[in-house]
Amino acid sequence: MTDTVEQLDLKAPTEKINLLGLSREKMAAFFLSIGEKPFRAQQILKWIHHHGVHDFDEMTNISKALRERLKTTAEIRPPEVVTEKTSKDGTRKWAVRVSGGSLVETVLIPDGDRGTLCVSSQVGCSLDCSFCSTGKQGFQRDLTAAEIVGQIWLAIKSYDAFPSTDKKVVTNVVMMGMGEPLLNFDNVVDAMDIMLDDFGYGISKRRVTLSTSGVVPALDKLGDVSQVSLAISLHAPNDKLRDQLVPINKRYPIAELLAACNRYWDKQNDTHRVTTVEYTLIAGINDSPAQARELVALLKDFPCKINLIPFNPFSLSDYRRPSKNAVNRFWQILSDSDIVTTVRSTRGDDIDAACGQLVGQVADRTKRSERHKANYTDTQILNVR
């Protein structure tokens, strides 16, 4: 327990701890560190995540003396909502301001009795996948666990759905927003622990999905500490093309990524789940029948289901969305080979909330955003000439 207390990083007596991002274990450690019983953790977790309370004075089963003490040592501070937009199809997108002033985006996709929240894990993205608008914005920093969990808290608050009821606004969470989750490992794991915890949001491990571009060492580590569902951003049937679309492939090629996925599932006690393979279809790049057959050959012995995602256009990219015929043809080849394959419906594209369109406003410390804008402008000038 001492080690856990140290992880709270109590740098100074006057620095307040944001309880919104503390897992049950770390919350108990916090209360021990201030001389309180660890059972207080469960009480506070329920107030925050079941009732949506961020004011200690509203916590009626906590003594006044403890409430006053918490005000001096802790806070419950979600990110600030800057904009909220609702698509004609019901998709809702928030831009939230995090510490440092940058904006990140999160999206809720309602579908009958399901509500899938796409959550960001970084301010920008340290990777630079060629088909993703987030990568073009560069990178500033990792989000804290409180900033990650805060996106769920704000989404539920937006629908006035606290206290939690049987009909939940957020039933599924996908770590598919801005950033590469496995490059923000500790904060993402803490946040997912809160999502799964019955004293947090009580979401099934089958309904929390981490999507990775292929950070193999971190994926191996994840299998030791988590049982969430797994998705991989593949987008190509071979290493040559994936090197261009997903640059991290040069370090961890496809064979290594697929092997790491198998190792992840080998560590789980549930043997019936499979990896979701995300494949963004880009016209003339990776959507041909020959590439579909190559994908079948690649994945024939890999337990998976495939999610085809027609490319969603954005500025700074000349990629094009494939035709419906091309998408259907690609789907048919995979389905005829007995691979479970779905085509993701485009949701929220009228508010730039579709897959690959999340941008936010990033104080880019990598200068990548400037380079992309300059290169794109130069290309447009050459095309005009």
Question: Which CA distances in Å does 215 have to 153, 178, 185, 222, 257?
Answer: 28, 16, 10, 11, 8
Question: Which CA distances in Å does 8 have to 28, 126, 296?
Answer: 11, 25, 47
Answer whether 188's CB lies under 8 Å from 177's CB.
no
Answer whether 314's CB lies under 8 Å from 372's CB.
no
Cβ-based neighbours of 203, under 8 Å, separated by 6 or more: 170, 171, 172, 173, 195, 196
Cβ-based neighbours of 272, under 8 Å, separated by 6 or more: none
Catalytic residue among 25, 261, 355, 370: 355
Catalytic residue among 84, 105, 125, 180: 105
Q: Is position 105 annotated as part of the catalytic site? A: yes
How far apart are the C-alpha atoms of 338 and 188, rounded to whole Å?
Answer: 34
* 3-class secondary-structure state, position 123: strand
Instruction: Using the Cα atoms of residue 117, residue 142, residue 213 and residue 131 in order, give the sign of their dihedral.
Output: positive
Edge-first strand order for the sheet with 275-281 is 80-86, 92-97, 103-111, 114-118, 172-175, 208-212, 229-233, 275-281, 304-310, 341-343
Answer whether 321's CB lies under 8 Å from 283's CB.
yes
Q: Is position 304 annotated as part of the catalytic site? A: no
What are the residue numbers of the active site? 105, 355
